[in-house]
Amino acid sequence: MATEHAVAESLRRRMLTELSAGTLPPGARLGSERELADHYGVSRSTLRQVLAALEEAGLVRRVAGRGGGTFVNHAKVEHDLTKVVGVPAYLARQGYSAGTRVVATRMGVADVPTRRALQLGEGDLVVDVRRLRLADGTPFSLDHARFPADRFPGLLEQSLGGSLYELIEKHYGVRIADAEEIVEVVHATDEEAALLAVAVGDALVSITRTTYDTTGTAIEFSHDLFRSDRIRITVRTPGRGLRGASEHSDASHFATISSVPVTG
């Protein structure tokens, strides 16, 4: 006979699969504990254990009292590393309303990592933009992008609430061709937790990206932090003889995925 832990884990995976399928919109009612326990053929204690885990992960919310039950939260946003596309575009494609709050902007001397990524000289200036991205009005990611100042004069005078890729293509004639990304798992600092509405120490998906134009010149160095309860990373690997599709006709994408232990 299966142990209660095994039954709970089996149910958790089944419900995760059903929730990830996206057939139920945010706010949909799954049912009461009694209804769900009968539906899945498990005890109510096992069901409560699984619902608690799903609620902690931000996938469902439970409401007590008359008219209560278990409701679907926002599904995880799919972030496809095989496509170079701005956040608003892939949020809109998945049915989310995208929003942006500009946290800080400045022009300053590039630090060493930025200088190396963008192949700049010592003392060269970069345009530095930090933005909080929203999906259906709730925090989704914290983006920190840096661009060569001499390549994009007047960038900080433009509207920075939409896709920066679309902005630089429209105003500067620069098209994105390639991007290299490093994906890591980190823990939220005090400031990051406050901005992203998570607890200090919660896991975040960190993506460090260098983006190149059609001439192979690096034009962006960025560091994005995503709420781990709101994003799912996908990578499409083409077979022999196939070429990966892209949001832009010639764009390609390279990703290195690693796990970094965080202490403290």
pLDDT one-digit tens code per residue, 157-204: 999 988 899 999 999 999 988 888 888 889 999 999 999 988 899 889
Q: Which amino acid is at 226?
A: F
Residue 122 identity: E
Bigger pLDDT: 60 vs 158: 158
103 or 34, which is more confident? 103
Quick one: pLDDT at residue 86?
Answer: 54
Phi-psi region at 121: left, alpha or beta (left = phi > 0; alpha = psi -120 to 50): beta
Q: CA 225 to CA 220: how far, in whole Å? A: 16
Cβ neighbour number for residue 21 with a 10 Å cutoff? 9
**Block residue for tokens 């699969």:** 17
Average pLDDT, integer, range 240-263: 42
* 24-57 per-position pLDDT tens digit: 666 778 878 888 899 899 999 999 888 888 777 6
The residue type found at 95 is G
Q: Which residue has the higher pLDDT, 110 or 241?
A: 110
Token representation of residue 94: 């998945």
Mean pLDDT of the chain: 79
